[in-house]
Structure 1
C-alpha cells in the first residue's frame, strides 16, 4: 500500500532531533546531580525565568513542528494508467499543515495588513470596457464576506474565535500539567514552590495569540503580503525554525572546539598552549565577515557544480544553511576559548588540583572531576548569550547577501528585502514588522534568561549575594 505522503529527512532535521535528544538527556542527568538541579531551580524560581522559558520553549516547539518534513503524493493524470506513484517536488512540514492554506494564499503583489484590496494600482477593465487605474480586490482575503462593509465586525469576531481555540488548547495543557504536578507532590510529599501560575498565564497568552493569528491568517493577510504576493505572517512564522537552528547549532558546533582547545591550553601549558594561542590568534586576525562570505560562496559553487546530490530545491537550501551553521561555528569559538584557557590556568594552580597531582591521579580524572565542573558556569552562560548573538548574526549576513538561501524562509531575508521597501513612498513597513517582532521577542527572552543563568551558576555572583 502506497502512502499518500513520503517522509523527507533533511540534514538540519537530524540536528533538530539530536538537539531534542540532548535536552532530554540533560534533564535526566539533573536527577544525578542535585547541585545543578538546585541551581536550575533557582533560575525557575523567579517569574521572569518561567515566562522567558515558556517563550523560548514555544519557539523550539514551532521549530520542531517545522522540521517534520514530507512530500505529498501527486494526483495521477486523467486518462493515464500507471501503478507508479509520483510525489510533489514541494517539501511541506507539519507546521504547514497547522497553518492551513496561509502559505498557498498568494496575491499578485503588495497588500497592506488586513486589507481587501491590493496596495498597488493596476489597470482595471470596467463593465463598459474602459480601462482605469485602481486597486483590484485581493484573491484570498475576505472572500467569505457578503459585503466589504462587514470587514471590521468580521475581523473582531474571527479574532475571538481564533483566540478561543488557542485558549482551549492552553486550558487542556494546563490541566494536564497541574495533574502531573499534583501526582509528583503526592509521590514526594513536597509541595512545589515554583511560580507555575506565571508559566500558565504566559502559555495561555502565547497559544491564544497563535490561535488568533492562524485562524485569522487563513481569512485575511494579517501582516499583508510582500512584492511577490507571499503572506508576511507565514514567512515570519517559518523563519522561527531558521533562527532557532542557527542559534543553537552554531553554538553547539563552536563549544566543543572551544572547550577542548581552551582547557588543553590552560591545563597542559607549554607547546600545547602555544599552538592553541597561535590558532585562535590567526583566526581572530582574519575579518570575520570576509571569512564567512568566502566560505559560503565556495560552498555555493560546490552546490551548483553537483546538482546530482539534491533531489529538490529545498535540499540545496538546507545544505547551504547547514554549511553556514558549520562555518559560523568554526569561526566563533575563539572568545570562549580564551575565557576557558585563562580560567583553567587559574584553577590548575589551586591546592586541591596540586594535591591530586601529588597523589598520582591521572590527567583525565583531574580534568573530569576538578577542572570541567568549575568551568560549567562559563560554558552555560556563554551558550545562552551566544544563542541570541547568532540569531542576530544571521540577519546581518542575509542583509549583506551571504546568509540563508533566498528560497528558505528567514528573518534576515525578510529584513534584506524590506530595506528597499522602507524607501518607497508611501512606505511598505509591514514586511519588516513580523520579522522584527519575533526576533525581538526571542532575543529579549534569551538575554533575560541568560541573566538568570549567570546569577545561578556564576560563583562570584553567589558569593556577592551571600555577603549582601
Structure 2
C-alpha cells in the first residue's frame, strides 16, 4: 500500500498535537485543572466526554489514508508497482467489506430482497415484476427462514467481542490509575465512563459484524450501504466543526482583544469590519465563496492526483469560509471583556511601571478572557456541524464524493416523496448527527458552568 496524506489529514495531526500540548499546559495550572475537574466530576460530563471521544476516535481512524497496490498484469515483466485511484483508510479495513457490498438500488434495513420491483424472467419464459434477492445481504443463509436465528447468534458473538475489548481497555485504565499518585483521583465517576465505553464499543462491534452480513441500515438509491456512509460521515462532521472553529478563533481573538485594548482608530476599524460582515446574509456569502472556490478547482484539475484530493480541497475551502465568516460574535464578546479588564487596577499599575503592551496582553488580558474562548469553542462546534448539513441541503456544502450527513439529508429530499417512503437514510444521518450535537451541547453547558464566573455566582446564590 501507498500512504496518502491529504491536507485535512495534516490539519488533523496538528490539532491532535495542539490538544496534547493543551492538556499538558492544563496540568501545570492548578486553577484551570480544578475547573476542568468540576466538569468531569459529574456523571453527565463523563458520559458525554466518552461519547465525543468515540466520535473523535472514528474520525482519526478515517484520517489514516492509503492506496492499495494493483495486482500485476499478466505477462508484464516491469517491476514498477501501480496503485489504485481509490483512497482507503484504516476505518475501511475495520469495516471489512461493508463499503464494497453494493446492491442495485434501495433495500430496507435487514432486508433480503430489494425495495424496488424489477422485471424478472419466470420459469415458463415470461416476464413478471417482483422484488429480486439482494446480492450480498444474507447471501450466506441457506434459506430466508434462517435469518432470525442467524441475526441472534451473530449479535451475541459481536456483543461478546465488544465486551472483551472494552474489558481489556478498562483493565488497562484501572492499572494506570493504580500507578497514579495524584490526590483526589478517586472522586471522578469512572463507573459511568466505563459503562458508557462498554455500551459504545459493544454497539460499534454489533454494527460492524452484522453490517458485513446484512445491510443494517439499508442502502441508498445507488445501492451503497447506509451504515457505511453514516460512519464515514463522522470524520466530516468532526472536522467541519473543529477546523472551522480553529480558523475562526485566531481572527476573533486578535481583533477582539486589539479593539478592546488599544481603542481609538483600531477599535473603529475593527468595529467597521465586523459590523459590515454581520450585515451580509451569511448563507449568501458562504454560497458565493464556495462557488468561487469550486470554479478554481474545476479550472485547475492538474493540482489533484486522485478524486478524493479534489473533494478534500473543497472541504477545506468550506471550513476556511465558515471560519472567516463566523468570527464576529466572539470578537464582540472579547472586545467588551477586554474593555472591562483594561480598566482594572493591576492593568493600570502595569502601565504605570512601564510594562510593554505585549506582556500586558499575554500576562493579564489573554488569561482572563480564556474562559470565554473555551466556552465559545465548544458551543460553536455543534453549530458548525449543523451548518454543514444546511449548506449541503441547499447544494453548496461538501462535495458529493465525500461522505457527509448533510449530503445524506440532501439526498433524502426526494426519498421522502416516494410511496412507500424511503426513511432509513434520513433517520440514520439524523440519529448520528443528533447524538454528536446533543453530547457536545451538554458537555458545553458543563464547561460554561465551570468556567463562567456569572454561572458560578448564580449557582452559589
| TM-score scaled by length of structure 1 | 0.97
What is the alpha-carbon distance in structure 1 between the residues aligned to residue 202 and residue 190 of structure 2? 18
- 1:71-86 matched pairs, under 5 angstroms: 71-86=67-82
What is the alpha-carbon distance in structure 2 between the residues aligned to residue 172 and residue 59 of structure 1? 20
What is the alpha-carbon distance in structure 1 between the residues aligned to residue 207 and residue 88 of structure 2? 20
Gaps of 5+ in 1: none
Aligned residues: 461
Please state how far the C-alpha of 1:189 moved relative to its aligned partner.
Answer: 6.3
What is the alpha-carbon distance in structure 2 between the residues aligned to residue 77 and residue 236 of structure 1? 35
Please state how far the C-alpha of 1:462 moved relative to its aligned partner.
Answer: 1.7
Give the alignment partner of residue 220 of structure 1, picking from 214, 218, 230: 214
Shift in CA distance, 192/78, structure 1 to aligned 2, threshold 3 Å: same
Please state how far the C-alpha of 1:32 moved relative to its aligned partner.
Answer: 1.3
What is the alpha-carbon distance in structure 2 between the residues aligned to residue 170 and residue 306 of structure 1? 47
1:156 aligns to 2:169 (yes or no): no
Give the alignment partner of residue 250 of structure 1, picking from 237, 240, 244: 244
Runs of 4+ in 1 over 2 A off after TM superposition: 187-191, 463-466
| TM-score scaled by length of structure 2 | 0.99
Q: Residue in 2 aligned with 1:8?
A: 4
Give the alignment partner of residue 272 of structure 1, picking from 266, 290, 304: 266
User: Aligned to 1:103, what secondary structure does the other structure show?
Assistant: helix
Q: Residue in 1 aligned with 2:351?
A: 357
Q: Residue in 2 aligned with 1:450?
A: 444
What is the alpha-carbon distance in structure 2 between the residues aligned to residue 189 and residue 367 of structure 1? 34
Q: Residue in 2 aligned with 1:323?
A: 317
Q: Residue in 2 aligned with 1:341?
A: 335
1:108-151 per-position Cα deviation (integer Å, ceiling 9, x unaligned): 00000000000000001122222110000000100111110011
- RMSD (Å), alpha carbons: 0.9
Q: Residue in 2 aligned with 1:381?
A: 375
Q: Residue in 2 aligned with 1:180?
A: 176
Please state how far the C-alpha of 1:324 moved relative to its aligned partner.
Answer: 0.4
Q: Residue in 2 aligned with 1:47?
A: 43
Please state how far the C-alpha of 1:11 moved relative to its aligned partner.
Answer: 0.4
1:391-414 per-position Cα deviation (integer Å, ceiling 9, x unaligned): 000000000000000110000000
Please state how far the C-alpha of 1:461 moved relative to its aligned partner.
Answer: 1.6
Please state how far the C-alpha of 1:464 moved relative to its aligned partner.
Answer: 2.6
- 1:168-317 matched pairs, under 5 angstroms: 168-184=164-180, 187-188=181-182, 191-317=185-311
Shift in CA distance, 440/189, structure 1 to aligned 2, threshold 3 Å: closer
- 1:24-173 matched pairs, under 5 angstroms: 24-173=20-169
1:459 aligns to 2:453 (yes or no): yes
1:231-281 per-position Cα deviation (integer Å, ceiling 9, x unaligned): 000000000000000000000000000000000000000000001011111
Q: Residue in 1 aligned with 2:364?
A: 370
Please state how far the C-alpha of 1:191 moved relative to its aligned partner.
Answer: 4.7
Please state how far the C-alpha of 1:188 moved relative to its aligned partner.
Answer: 4.0
Shift in CA distance, 345/190, structure 1 to aligned 2, threshold 3 Å: closer
User: Aligned to 1:72, what secondary structure does the other structure show?
Assistant: strand
